[in-house]
Amino acid sequence: MTRFTFSLVRRSSSLLALALLAGTQGQTATPTAVPTLPPPSALITAQPIGDSIFPALGQAGLDVLNYDLDLFVDRPGRSELRGTVVLTVTATQPLPVLSLDFLGPQVLDVRWEGLPAPYRHDQTAGKLTIQPPQPLRPGTLARVTVRFAGKAGVRPDPDLPIDVGWQAVPAQGDRVGANFTLSEPDGTRTFLPVNDHPSDPATFTTRVTVPAGYTAAASGVERAEVAAPDGGRTFTFEQAQPIPTYTLAIHVNQFERVDAAAVPVGVAGSDVLRRDYFPVGTQADTRAAYTSTGEILKVLAEWFGPYPFSAYGSAIVTPRVPALETATLSTMPVTSSNTRVLVHETAHQWFGDQLTLADWSEVWLNEGFATYAELLWAQAQGEAGEDIVRGWYARAGRSQTRPLVATSEAQLFDTTAYIRGALALHAVRVTVDDAAFKGYLRGWVAGFHNRPVTTADLLAYTRTRLGATAGAALRLWAESPELPPFRKGKHRHIHRAQGGCACQATPHARCSSRCSSSRPSRRASSGRPSGRLLSPCTMGTKRNSGRAIRSRRAVKATTKSARSSKWALSSARSGKGSPDSRSISAGCGSKPSSSSLSRRDVSRKIDALGRV
């Protein structure tokens, strides 16, 4: 303790302003003599978690068990907020200091087990370093309290025209001001001191105090709603199951809460509470998509196993931003209020919120599964799903591709993470029957939700659970620098039962075309074995299908190359798939031209808004 000096950290006008801000609803933010840490050079270095995409995030060895948060949103629509959070922490290795991620409001004071603790808040680096009385040791618990007030921090997302984290939606016309969280991948640190990495999920107790006329919504089950000064209200939510920090939802708006019948898809058949939050004045056509939520939960629980949390629903936001799988309460823009996006975000409750990532480079494990859920839902509605898979393959074929594990922030939400990820799962599916595939999905969730997951985990699990053929299929799709050719599955197309066609259920353009013909196809009658490999072009257009079929020799060479150069990457930056169907044929068998790349770059931010 002698290494630390004690002084007033914040002085004069800024402190006075904070005190005034914090005092508007009864909570004092009076600055006191606050111990501060010396400059960083004098600190014992805190080791980050070591994420390959965001190497500065988190602290190695720190395990936050619970965040108990009191948040005061005095002026909805603005970026100012104030609050107190109590972190219950332990460690997996001795920690001389705690290093929390925090870009956000200014720190007023820090306490360790109720006593003032030295700290240093570097808002540029986004780190709040706290000195405990003695090192935090494995097996011990500590409660660390941080009080803060001021403007939320800023964390620009290179893909989006917004900063991720605490969103402020100013009042405009008839619309009142509002706030909400949109934090993937690392926006929670803009308003809350956290160990901001998905490998350290935690439970949350969230109390939000809002002015008169406003409603707060947050991840978890609402436990209380009590009066606050000046006609305001305090809403309390308990998120009893651990969730990654980026999935924490907090919404403040003039909401209409709509409750629906509970859905018995929870653990051991328990009821899952259903509630949605619509801003007052939300149009009926926007609300319509959410009437399917209960059915979506049932379909996905059948494939993935019990829904992992106690409640589920959506909070609708008015800005045109990406939808986000915030835990128990998906954040859904008005512009994305459709069933496909809702299915996707609901699937993330299993993949991303319950099953968490060990590293951000593994984000396809979230997006690939959530995208695949869109196919499972479509098939549950009676669709064959062929058009969906064919569309995926065509889109992947006209985009630059890479192995599934990302190597840069720009790759996190690209076409590969979503579409190639989903196709990789389909490549596994077609090696087995659907009963085995369902058991595989359920086993992945049930067996791996207690620790952060990696692609290596899934590869090992796939081989163990489904055998060498499925394992090899996934490995090819995971590791090949090029888009792998597609292997047709074992499932017979329904037309075969009618005696008309031997096409298989795995869809591709020519097969579908022939199956729709009244005459049996020549290929169908040739007795060729299943498992023929098709190139992306085969999936694109009939015009290109013939010349694009790869020879078996070429496919073997591709496979060998992929296996011998694990994680080898194309140096080209992956672009987002253009929705322009005119580019389908141009993309077959050739790299996109520089001009098309340029167009994609220009529209990149716009495309990013469609990410889900």
Q: Would you state the structure tokens that stand for residue 198, as one six-digit string?
A: 């998905």
- Least distance in angstroms from the C-beta of 254 to Zn ion: 28
Residue nearest to Zn ion (CB): 370
Per-residue contact flags (x/-) with Zn ion for residues 342 to 381, judged by CB under 5 A? -------------------------x--x-----------
- Least distance in angstroms from the C-beta of 370 to Zn ion: 4
Classify 82 as helix, strand or coil.
Answer: strand
Alpha-carbon distance of 354 to 241, in angstroms, equals 8
Q: Is the CB of 249 or the CB of 584 nearer to Zn ion?
A: 249
**Dihedral angle computed from the Cα positions of residues 104, 106, 109 and 114, in that order, rounded to the nearest 10 degrees:** -20
The H or E element that residue 277 is part of is: strand 272-279
Strands (E) in 416-540, as ranges, are: 486-487, 533-534
Instruction: Say how many residues make up the chain.
Output: 612
Phi, psi of 58 (to 5 degrees): 75, 175
- Least distance in angstroms from the C-beta of 583 to Zn ion: 23
Classify 531 as helix, strand or coil.
Answer: coil
- Least distance in angstroms from the C-beta of 155 to Zn ion: 19
* Beta carbons of 112 and 106 less than 8 angstroms apart: no
- Least distance in angstroms from the C-beta of 378 to Zn ion: 16
CA angle 425, 446, 463 (to 5 degrees): 45
**Dihedral angle computed from the Cα positions of residues 134, 135, 139 and 141, in that order, rounded to the nearest 10 degrees:** 60
Interaction residues for Zn ion, span 8-47 (CB under 5 A): none
Q: Is the CB of 177 or the CB of 352 nearer to Zn ion?
A: 352
The H or E element that residue 553 is part of is: helix 552-564
Interface with Zn ion includes 273 (CB under 5 A)?
A: no
- Least distance in angstroms from the C-beta of 358 to Zn ion: 18
Stretch that binds Zn ion, among 304-312, 395-403, 576-584, 604-612 (CB under 5 A): 604-612
Q: Is the CB of 493 or the CB of 611 nearer to Zn ion?
A: 611
What residue has token string 């914040």? 10
Please report the DSSP string for 201-255 in residue order: -EEEEEEEEE-TT-EEEESSEEEEEEE-GGG-EEEEEEEEEEE-GGG--EEEESE
Q: Is the CB of 278 or the CB of 364 nearer to Zn ion?
A: 364
Q: Would you state the structure tokens that stand for residue 245, as one six-digit string?
A: 């920090």
- Least distance in angstroms from the C-beta of 296 to Zn ion: 15
Interface with Zn ion includes 423 (CB under 5 A)?
A: no
- Least distance in angstroms from the C-beta of 173 to Zn ion: 32
Q: Any residues with CB less than 8 A from the CB of 184 and at least 6 apart, and which? A: 164, 246, 247, 324, 325
Q: Would you state the structure tokens that stand for residue 570, as one six-digit string?
A: 């194309």
158 HSE (CA, 13 A, CB side): 8
- Least distance in angstroms from the C-beta of 157 to Zn ion: 15
Q: Is the CB of 74 or the CB of 374 nearer to Zn ion?
A: 374
Interaction residues for Zn ion, span 479-518 (CB under 5 A): none
Chain Cα centroid distance, residue 144 = 28
One-letter amino acid identity for 593? Answer: S
Strands (E) in 55-164, as ranges, are: 62-72, 80-91, 98-101, 106-112, 115-116, 119-122, 127-130, 142-151
* Beta carbons of 595 and 328 less than 8 angstroms apart: no
Q: Any residues with CB less than 8 A from the CB of 260 and at least 6 apart, and which? A: 274, 275, 276, 293, 294, 313
Q: Is the CB of 67 or the CB of 307 nearer to Zn ion?
A: 307
Q: Is the CB of 101 or the CB of 367 nearer to Zn ion?
A: 367
For residue 166, the cross-strand partners are 181
Q: Is the CB of 367 or the CB of 457 nearer to Zn ion?
A: 367
* Beta carbons of 208 and 192 less than 8 angstroms apart: no
- Least distance in angstroms from the C-beta of 306 to Zn ion: 21
Per-residue contact flags (x/-) with Zn ion for residues 292 to 311, judged by CB under 5 A? --------------------
Q: Is the CB of 250 or the CB of 370 nearer to Zn ion?
A: 370
- Least distance in angstroms from the C-beta of 15 to Zn ion: 42
Q: Is the CB of 370 or the CB of 419 nearer to Zn ion?
A: 370
Phi-psi region for residue 275, left (φ > 0), alpha (ψ -120 to 50) or beta? beta
Q: Is the CB of 171 or the CB of 606 nearer to Zn ion?
A: 606
Q: Is the CB of 46 or the CB of 612 nearer to Zn ion?
A: 612
Q: Is the CB of 344 or the CB of 510 nearer to Zn ion?
A: 344
Instruction: Name the nearest CA neighbour of 342 among 377, 383, 393.
Output: 377
- Least distance in angstroms from the C-beta of 348 to Zn ion: 5
Interface with Zn ion includes 612 (CB under 5 A)?
A: yes
* Beta carbons of 549 and 592 less than 8 angstroms apart: no
- Least distance in angstroms from the C-beta of 352 to Zn ion: 7
- Least distance in angstroms from the C-beta of 598 to Zn ion: 27
Size of the site for Zn ion (CB under 5 A): 3
Q: Is the CB of 405 or the CB of 612 nearer to Zn ion?
A: 612
The residues binding Zn ion (CB under 5 A) are 367, 370, 612
